[in-house]
Every structure is written in C-alpha cells, then in structure tokens.
Amino acid sequence: MRLSRVSAVLFVIFVLVSWWIIVTPITNLLPDASNHAADIDFLFKFMSVAAVAVFLIVQGFLLTFALKYRRRPGQSVDTLGSDIHGNTRLEIIWSVIPAIFVIVLTVMSIKVYNDIIASHKGAYVVNVTASQFQWACEHPAYKISESNTCHMPANEQITLNLRATDVIHSFWVPEFRIKQDAVPGYPTAMHFIATRVGEYRLICSEFCGYGHSAMYAKLFVMKPADFVTWAKQQQSQSTGAIGAVSYKKDVSAIFTAHCAACHIAGKLGGLSLGSYSGLVAGGAIVPGSVFKPGDHKASVLWKIIQPGTGQPGGAQMPLGGPYLSKHEIDTIAAWIDQGAKNN
Ligand code: CUA
C-alpha cells in the first residue's frame, strides 16, 4: 500500500514536470514577425496540446490499472488472470481514433507547408549568400549588397534566394518561424511577408564549422518608405566615388577594428605584423602579394575581405565578426587604387 502511494506521488510529479516542459515553450513564444507565424504557432500549439492529452490518457490508464490490479495482502503469487483473446470493438476504437488524428494533423501541416513554399510574382528579391561564417545580402533591384546585415521592407512579399559557397548553412530568424537550408550547388528560396518593423537576429541553424555559433547577422525590417530611403543611400554610397582616402584617418581604424586582434604581433596565415606601418611601408609582408598599389582587384588584401570568398587558403576573417561593411571594403579598395600610401 505504501509503495503504491509513493508511485502515485511520483506519477503526479512526473505529469506536472512534463506539463511544465510542454506548456512553458507554448506560452513563451517569441513575438511573431512574418505572415506564416500565426499558422505555424497554431499548428505547434495544437500538436503540443494533443500530445499532452494523449500522454495524460495513456498514463491515466496505466496508473489506474497498476493500482486496481496490484497484488493485495494474502494474495497468492501464482494467481492467474482470466484468459482474454482480444476485444474487437476496443481494438477498432484505439486504431481509428489515432488514425483520424494523424490524418487531421497531416492535412493541417500540408496546408501550412504549401503556403510557405508558394512563390509570388512581383515579390521583392533578396539574394542571400551564406559562407563560413557570415551572411551577405544582395538587392538586385537597387544593385547594392551588404555584408552581415540584411535589410528588407515590411508588409511586402519577399523572396529570399539562398545559396551557400562552402558547406550547408541554414537561414533562421526565430520571429519569422520559418527556416531554410542554404546548400552549395542547390539554390533554395524562402517566401514570406515580414509583418513587424524592427531589428532581428539572423542565425545560422545548421552546424557548419568552428565559427558556426558566431554566424549571425542583424536583420532589419523597415517601413517600406524608410527602406527605399536606405537603399538609395546605399546606392549613392556605392556608386558615388570615394574621395581622397587617408591611411591614418580612414584605413588604419578599419584595420584596428577588424584585423589587429590576430595579425598584430600574431603569426596567422603568413601575415604577421609588428604594426600596420609595416604593411604600408611596402606591402612586402607576404612578398609582393598583400596589395598591388594602384590595382585593388589584383590585391590579395582586397580579395580576402570580400564576403564569401575563401582567399587565401580558405581564410574566413575575422572569426566571429564584426565583418567589414561594403563602405569599409570600398574605402580599402580606394586606398589601394590611390597608391596605398602612408598618408
Ligand atoms: Cu553557417 Cu552554421
């Protein structure tokens, strides 16, 4: 008797903990920010509640029968139960009910899935490139691109074309509720409307190497008018010629922010510097190859700071970011084209 009381208490604790484990995520979802979120949240909650119900019914029967048919004091160990050969009605019931349930869940899931994968004509297109370990977003409509940020207009149909340059990554913004792998050699896409203006975290949710946990970017959903203003600003920044670049004023700060942690007094990737004046003095740290004054496109320094390239020898810099913005990359390019002087 005492043992069954202990079992009963343990069972109640078990049910409460299970309930807490299931209910906590349901009631603590992040705010939703895409047109698919409500449907997906409903499906998630519906399935979770259904799972809890099944769990309670099954465990309820288990407990009831365990207590009801327990061996009582004075009862012989060898007492045999009555010989039962099935119960057709019961067996049909416990087959049909779960089958109906699975069919309902399947139909609901297919409906949501079809909504998610449906592409829409006239959608605003963003080409997203994932590479170890950074994100780049390109806007064909404005011919601009950004590195480790991604901007998009709210309340407009969006198509994200995803590609990966090295291994599989996965595009995930938890508030959007949808997720899509970026696979090398196999273009994938996401279709949605971002419904809430704000700043979000774009996370890589597929293990992709030693920098995976740091592979995230800021994603901005903007009011459509603000987005257009932003895009035009970027356009003028990228097409407008960068004026005279000063090494001391403009370039040195970029190097300090992005490169110094590893390459000053370090010995990484063949580029080991006492200070950046060494780099400016002649570019001979990796003999003849760091940069070619007057020609940024022929300079390794420029190649390795491009998002998504693995130059040289698969450099992915700097590990964990913050990576260089387009404006910073353009500034370095202009500085090289202007002769890479220590001015
Ligand atoms: Cu990219 Cu994980």
Q: Per-residue pLDDT tens for 246-287?
A: 887 778 777 777 776 666 655 555 565 655 655 655 444 444
Each residue's pLDDT tens digit, 171-228: 999 999 999 999 988 889 999 999 999 999 999 999 998 889 888 899 999 999 999 9
Q: How far is it between the farthest Cα atoms of the chain? A: 101
Rounded to the nearest whole angstrom, what is the distance from the C-alpha of residue 163 to the centroid of ligand 1? 12
* Closest atom of ligand 1 to CA, residue 211: 2
Among protein residues, the one whose CA lies closest to atom 1 of ligand 1:
169
**At a CB cut-off of 8 Å and minimum separation 6, what does 269 contact?**
263, 312, 313, 315
| Band of pLDDT at residue 238, cut at 50, 70 and 90 | low
Is residue 51 over pLDDT 90?
A: no
Q: How far apart are CA 303 and CA 315, in angstroms?
A: 10
288 pLDDT more than 60: no
| pLDDT at site 303 | 76
Q: What is the mean pLDDT of the chain?
A: 82
Residue 225: count of CB within 10 angstroms of its CB: 9
Say if residue 132's pLDDT is above 90: no
pLDDT at site 48? 84
Cα(169) to centroid of ligand 1, in Å? 5
Residue pair 180/169 in contact (Cβ under 8 Å)? The answer is no
Token pair of 119, please? 């592409």
Q: Are 120 and 157 in contact (CB under 8 A)?
A: yes
In this structure, the strands spanning 124-131 and 157-164 are parallel
The residue that leads in pLDDT, 62 or 79, is 62
Helix (H, G, I), strand (E, B) or coil at 294: coil
Residue 287: per-residue pLDDT: 43
Q: Is the pLDDT of residue 124 over 50?
A: yes
Report, as an integer, the average pLDDT of 315-337.
Answer: 72
Judged by average pLDDT, the poorest of 60-64, 162-166, 276-280, 305-309 is: 276-280
User: Percentage of residues in the chain with pLDDT exceeding 90?
Assistant: 34
165 touches ligand 1 (CB under 6 Å): no
For ligand 1, is residue 251 a contact (CB within 6 Å)? Answer: no
Q: Which of 232, 209, 187 is nearest to 310 (CA)?
A: 209
Query: Is the C-beta atom of 164 inside 6 A of ligand 1?
Result: no
Q: What is the mean pLDDT of residues 118-140?
A: 90
Among 315, 41, 270, 281, CA closest to 174: 41
Q: Which atom of ligand 1 is nearest to the CA of 168?
A: 1
Mean pLDDT of 102-107: 93
Residues 275-313 as b/e (b if ≥16 CB within 10 A, e otherwise) read ebeebbeebebeeebbbbeeebeebbbbbbbebbeeeee
User: Per the structure block, which two tokens stand in for 112?
Assistant: 């949501």
User: Is residue 208 within 6 Å of ligand 1 at its C-beta?
Assistant: yes
pLDDT at 75 over 50: yes
209 CA distance to ligand 1 centroid (A)?
7
Token pair 């004075």 is at which residue? 74
Q: From the CB of residue 146, how many other CB atoms can be counted at a distance below 10 Å?
A: 23
Beta strands 216-222 and 149-153 are parallel
Q: What is the mean pLDDT of residues 313-322?
A: 56
- Calculate mean pLDDT across residues 215-242: 85
Confidence class for position 3, pLDDT limits 50, 70, 90: low
Q: ∠ at Cα 301 (299, 304), nearest 5°?
A: 110
- Residue 198 parent element (H or E): strand 198-204
Q: Write the pLDDT tens digit of every residue in 201-211.
A: 999 999 998 88
**Cβ 212 under 6 angstroms from ligand 1:** yes
Lowest mean pLDDT among 143-147, 208-212, 229-233, 312-316: 312-316
d(CA 180, CA 191): 10
The tokens for 7 are 């079992």
> Do residues 152 and 126 touch, judged by C-beta distance below 8 A?
yes
Tokens, residue 107: 């139909």
Given strand 124-131, what is the order of strands in its sheet? 144-147, 134-139, 124-131, 157-164, 188-193
Phi and psi of 169, rounded to 5°?
Answer: -120, 175
Tokens 């990359």 sit on residue: 329
Shortest-distance atom of ligand 1 to CA 167: 1
Residue 270 is classified by DSSP as T
Res. 106: pLDDT tops 70: yes
| pLDDT score recorded for residue 313 | 45
Whole-number percent of the chain with pLDDT over 70: 83
CATH number for the region 124-239 comes to 2.60.40.420
Domain edges within the chain: 3-65+95-117, 124-239, 247-337
| 248-261: b (≥16 Cβ within 10 Å) or e | eebbbebbeebbbe
**Ligand 1 atom with least separation from CA of 207:** 2
Among all chains, which residue has been given the structure tokens 């407990």? 63
Q: Which atom of ligand 1 has the smallest separation from the CA of 132? A: 1
pLDDT, tens digit, for every residue of 8-24?
788 788 778 877 877 77
Cβ of residue 128 lying under 6 Å from some atom of ligand 1? no
Residue 215 Cβ inside 6 Å of ligand 1? The answer reads: yes
Which residues, 6+ apart, have CB-to-CB distance to 237 below 8 Å? 326, 327, 330
